[in-house]
Amino acid sequence: MTTMFDVGNKVAAKAVQLCRPEVIAAYPITPQTVIVEELARMVQAGELSAEYLCVESEHSVMAATCAAASMGVRTFTATSSQGLAFMHEMLHWASLSRLPIVMINVNRALGPGWSIWVDETDSMSQRDTGWIQIYCSTAQEIFDTVIQAFKLAEHRDVQLPVMINYSAFTISHTMMPADILSQEDVDAFLPAFEAYWRLDWRNPVTFGNVISDEYAMEKRYTMYRGMEAAKQLIPEIAREYEQTFGRYHGGLIEEYRLDDAEYVLLAMAAIGSEAKVAVDNLRDKGYKVGLGRMRVIRPFPDEELRRIGKGRTLIALDRNISVGSGGVVYHETRSAVLGVEGCKVYGYLAGIGGRDVTYEDIEGMALKVINGEADPDVVGWWDLKDTGGK
Amino acid sequence: MERYEADTTISYPCVGAAGKTGGWRDFKPVIDQSNCIKCLRCWAYCPEGAVLRGEDDSVSIDYDYCKGCGICARECPKKAITMERED
C-alpha cells in the first residue's frame, strides 16, 4: 500500500484506474474536469487500457456510456451541476436499463447566477432517477467508495447505476492524504464485470423496446427491489472492505458520538466532516450532541433514521433546496421518522450556492435548537443577509 | 440463441416481436395484381418487411404487421398499389 497526497479529484481518478473501466465517455465541466483529464492522461500514457470517448455534450456522455455498458463492459464518467442536469433524460435510461454505470458528480451550484461553488441541489434534483447516491467527505472515502461502488452496481441483486458525490473545491480541489491499494488487491476485491445481458451481434437482442402497461409497473417494482437490496449491500460491502483492507467510513449513515446524544446533526459531504469538529466542541462544552453523516440518500436510510431518531432531536443541515418545499434531507427525514417516539426534526438551509459553512456555523445552528430558539415546522435560513424586503 | 436473465426490457428477434402492429393502420395498401410487373420495389422499400414475396416474385401484403405507411404505393412504378381507408 502506498500513500498519495493529492486533490480529491486526482485520488478519484486513481481509484477509477484501478477498477479497470473499459469505456470512459467524457465532457469537461468545472469542478470535475480534473478527473476526466487525469483519466485521459492515463489512457494516453498507456497506464489505463480503456476506450476514451470525447463527445459533444453531457447528454451524449450518458448516451455513449449507456451504449457501452449495454455491450457488457465496465464504464465510468464524471460530471457536475449543469452537466448533470443536461444528462437528466439519459439518467433514467441508465437506471431503467439496469446498467451498472459508476459516475462521479462533483456537487456544484446551478446557475444563473453562474457559480462553480458547492451546492447539492444538482444531485438532489436527480434523486428520482433511480440512481444510487453516495456522498463522500474525504479523499480517502472517495477512493474506497469508487471501488465499492462498482461492486455494488454490478451485484446481481442491484444492477443499478451509482452516483458518487462530493463537494466542489472543498473536497475536489483540496489536497488530502489517501492510502492507495495495489492493482492486485483491487482485482481480488472487484473481479472483472460479468454482464447479465448484453448487446451482441452473435446473440442479437434489442432493448429499450416498447413495453405495455401489462409489464411496465413490474419493471419499476424490480428496480425498487434493486434499491432495497442496495440498502443491505452498501453496509455489507463496506464491512467486507473493512475486513479486507481495514478502512470503514460507515454504512448508509456514519454515526459519530451518538452514545447518550440528545441532539443529532444530520449532514453530508464537506459539511459532514466539518460537523465532527462542531460535535467535539459542543461535547467539550457539555452538550450531548452527535452526528449522523448521511452517506447515502438513495436508497434513503429510513430504518437507520428511525433507530437514531428514537427519543432524540434531529437537526438536518441542507446545502440544497427544493424551492417551495425546503431542504431535501430535512423533509425526507421528517417523513421517515413520522410517529417515532420522542423524535423531533429541525431543519436549516446552510451554505447554499457555496457559502462557507464552518464548525462555528454548525455549532450556532445546533445551539439555536438546543436553546429553544428554533421552530421545527419552519425551515431556517442560516446566515441569511438582508434581501431588501424581497 | 442464448436467453438472458435481464432485469430490463429485452426483446429477441422473431416475427412480430412488438406484437401485431397492423392495428395501427389508417390506410391499407391494396395491390392490383393485373397491373403488377413483379419489379419487387414495394418488397425492397417496405420498412417493416410486411410485403411478402412469393416463389414467382408475386407480392402480397401481410396485414397483421403492415402499419399503412404507404411507401409501397408511392414507389410502385405502375401505380398498382392504392391506399384505401380502413373501415
Contact A206 B11 (CB under 8 A): yes
Calculate how close chain B gets to A134, using CA atoms only, in Å. Answer: 23
Kindly list the residues from chain B whose CB atom is less than 8 angstroms away from the CB atom of residue A197.
Answer: 4-6, 8, 10
Range of the domain at A286: 253-381
| Pair A234, A280 in one domain | no
Domain for residue A310, yes or no? Answer: yes
Which residues does chain A have within 8 Å of residue B2's beta carbon, measured at their own beta carbons? 203
Nearest CA in chain A to B4: A197
pLDDT of residue A215: 86
A-chain residues within 8 Å CB-CB of B7?
98, 159, 196, 219, 222-223, 226
**CB proximity list for B70: less than 8 A, separation 6 or greater:** B27, B29, B83
Stretch B36-44: mean pLDDT? 98
Residue A160's closest chain B neighbor by CA?
B7
Q: Where are the domains of chain B?
A: 21-85
What contacts A244, CB < 8 A, 6 or more positions away? A185, A189
User: How many C-beta atoms lie closer than 10 Å to residue B34's C-beta?
Assistant: 7
Q: What are the pLDDT digits (tens) for B56-65? A: 999 999 999 9
Task: Indicate whether B1 pLDDT > 80.
Answer: no
Instruction: Name the residue in chain A with its Cα closest to that of B10.
Output: A207
Q: With 90 as the cut, is the pLDDT of residue A31 above it?
A: yes
On whether both A236 and A341 belong to a single domain, the answer is: no
Q: What CATH number is given to the structural domain containing A105?
A: 3.40.50.970
Asked if A211 and A62 sit in the same domain, the reply is yes
pLDDT band at A141 (very low <50, low <70, confident <90, very high): very high
- In sequence order, which ranges of chain A are alpha helices (DSSP H)? 8-18, 33-44, 58-70, 81-86, 88-96, 121-124, 139-154, 183-189, 213-245, 269-284, 302-309, 328-336, 359-370
Of A72-76, A114-118, A338-342, B17-21, where does mean pLDDT reach its minimum?
Answer: B17-21
- Mean pLDDT throughout A136-153? 98
ipTM of the complex: 0.70
Out of B2, B6, B11, the one facing A203 most closely (by C-beta) is B2
Does B19 have pLDDT greater than 90? no
Q: What is the mean pLDDT of residues B44-48?
A: 96
pLDDT of residue A27: 97
Indicate yes or no: CB of B13 within 8 angstroms of CB of A207: no
Residues of B within 8 A of A205 (CB-CB) are 4, 10-13
What residues of chain A lie within 8 A of the CB of B17, using their CB?
Answer: 206, 209
Average pLDDT value for chain B: 94
**Would you state the cell numbers that stand for residue A11, as one nine-digit string?**
485520488
Q: Is the pLDDT of residue A1 over 80?
A: no
CATH code 3.30.70.20 for B21-85 = yes
Number of separate domains in chain A:
2
The CA angle A264-A268-A270, to the nearest 5 degrees, is: 120
For residues A197 and A19, the answer to whether their CB atoms sit within 8 Å is: no
**Same domain for A26 and A123?**
yes
Instruction: Kindly give the pairing relationship between strand A132-135 and strand A162-167.
Output: parallel
Identify whether the C-beta of residue A15 lies closer than 8 Å to the C-beta of residue A182.
Answer: no
What's the CA gap between B13 and B7, in Å, rounded?
Answer: 18
Q: What percent of chain A lies above the pLDDT cut of 70?
A: 100
- Chain A partners within 8 Å of B8 (Cβ): 96-98, 197, 207, 219
pLDDT averaged over every residue in chain A: 97
**Given A221, A245, A269, which residue is the final one in a domain?**
A245
Q: Please indicate, yes or no, whether residues A118 and A162 belong to a single structural domain of this protein.
A: yes
Residue A327 in any domain: the answer is yes
**Is residue B6 very low, low, confident or very high in pLDDT (cuts 50, 70, 90)?**
confident
Residues A194 and A290 in one domain: no
**How close A116 comes to chain B (CA, Å)?**
36
Q: CB pairs below 8 Å between A and B: how many?
A: 50
In sequence order, the 6+-apart residues with CB closer than 8 A to the CB of A188 are none
pLDDT higher than 80, residue A103: yes
Q: How far is Cα A81 from Cα A169, in angstroms, rounded to an integer?
A: 13
Identify whether residues A231 and A267 lie together within a single domain.
Answer: no
Please tell me which residue of chain A has the smallest CA distance to B5: A196
Q: In the prediction, which pLDDT does B9 show?
A: 86
Look at residue A275 and tell me if it is in a domain: yes
Q: Which residues, in sequence order, are CB contacts of B42 under 8 Å at separation 6+?
A: B29, B31, B51, B59, B71, B72, B75, B76, B81
Same domain? A310 vs A178: no
Report residue A43: phi and psi, to 5°. Answer: -65, -45
Statement to judge: residues A193 and A326 lie in one domain: no
Confidence grade of residue B14 (pLDDT, cut at 50, 70, 90): confident
Distance from CA of A320 to the nearest CA of B (A): 32
User: What pLDDT digit, counting tens, does each position of A204-213 carry?
Assistant: 998 888 888 8
Is the pLDDT confidence value at B17 over 80?
no
CB contact under 8 A, B8 and A219: yes
At residue A78 the predicted structure's pLDDT band, cuts being 50, 70 and 90, is very high
> What is d(CA B36, CA B76) in angstroms, rounded to the nearest whole number?
9
Determine whether the interchain pair B1/A203 forms a contact, defined as Cβ–Cβ distance below 8 Å.
Answer: yes
pLDDT tens digits, A360-390: 999 999 999 999 999 999 999 999 999 998 8
Selected for mutation to probe chain A from B5, B8, B67 (highest A CB count within 10 Å) is B8
B-chain residues near A130 (CB < 8 A) = none
Residue A45 has pLDDT above 80, yes or no: yes
- A388 assigned to some structural domain: no
CA distance B62 to chain A (A): 21
In-domain check, residue A141: yes
Q: Which residues of B touch A204 (CB under 8 A)?
A: 12-13
Same domain, A233 and A318: no
> 10 Å Cβ neighbour count for A100?
24
Give the pLDDT of residue A329: 98
Residues A188 and A301 in one domain: no
Same domain, residue pair A239 and A287: no
What pLDDT, on the 0 to 100 scale, is given for residue A199?
Answer: 94
pLDDT of res. B15 = 84
